[in-house]
Copies of this chain bind each other. A is one copy, B any other.
Amino acid sequence: MSKKVVTFGEIMMRLSTPGNKRFVQTDSFDITYGGGEANVAAAICNYGMQGVFFSKLPDNALGQAAINHLRRFGVDTQFIARGGKRLGLYFLEPGVSMRASQVIYDRADASITEAEVADFDFDRIFEGADWFHTSGITPALGDNTAVLTLAALKAAKAKGITTSLDLNYRKKLWTAQKAREVLIQLCEYVDVCIGPDATLGFHSEDTDINLDTLTTDDYSTVFKQVKEKYGFKYIASGLRESHSASDNSIRALIYDGNELYQTARYDVRIVDRVGAGDSFASGLIYGLLNNMNAADAAEFGVAASALKHTIPGDMNHATLAEVQDLVKGNRSGKIQR
């Protein structure tokens, strides 16, 4: 029987400009759908596990389209509540070279911000689940989602389910102060923490690091402190060096309480950088759920993340075999025929 991973969060419609066009140039948008936890659920299905995603979406054709997108991957969408005002949107202008990608969020008043505990039957949702994953973006969306995130984590822990939280601090959504207050409460119910920094304080996904001169000592100290304070089983973090909007290097760190492991580094030519962090998270979950040690799970996660950069959209369409092949070191990109 395959493993079952439940995730909770927002799914937005993403509207991106085609052909390297800027917002002021385009007369069409490419449509896809994404959100941190939804992206994780989709990737989980790609790896042959069961992915369940719950959220709240408007009861119109746009909300239905978001659900249909998730169903393509095989994500179980039966627990998505319907109702509320609108589908959250975000607009993406992908960057090139030294021109950075631009994101305009239009997610205020999305249906999920009106979701309530009564919209979800945690007993049914978590039945038979092995893992629950959510992120620090979800509680940042509003008071309702903060309450719901805590409730879901508690419900999952009460059922003995492993939990993970990708801190993913976004400064446009809330202050660091507010984030710290809310997230610290959540940490009590979290087994695997992704992305913490020294002060818990949380490092932003967009932090840019020089991977050539990376000293892991600092991370080692921080992760140790964080682990001691919050009792996480694993602490992991993806690292990124942004040479330009077209070329990045990535690697990841994981700390299991004993040692800080540093993965291989990947130099990626970017097709679509969004969702790369979620690919790391879902790869890590896959690994830990399938009996890998921390180092191997992080290697699987960072390889999945590397492949994500080459695939359009927020969600990762890399297959299990492709990730495994890349972990083994096949980076030549030779034609498969």
Contacts and interface: CB of A to CB of B under 8 A. Distances in A.
Nearest to A58: B104
A91 interface: yes
A98 B268 contact: yes
A310 B20 contact: yes
B24 A98 contact: no
A26 B31 contact: yes
Determine the main DSSP class of A at the interface with B. Answer: loop
Interface string A205-242: 01010000000000000000000000000000000001
A333 B243 CA distance: 7
Interface of A: 15, 18-32, 60-62, 64-65, 68-69, 71-74, 85-86, 89, 91, 93, 95-106, 108-109, 170, 172, 206, 208, 242-247, 266, 268-274, 306-307, 309-313, 317-318, 322, 326, 331-337
B244 A331 contact: yes
Contacts of A245: 310, 333-335
B20 A271 contact: yes
Contacts of A32: 27
B74 A62 contact: no
5 contacts: A18-B28, A86-B108, A100-B335, A103-B336, A105-B337
Contacts of A93: 61
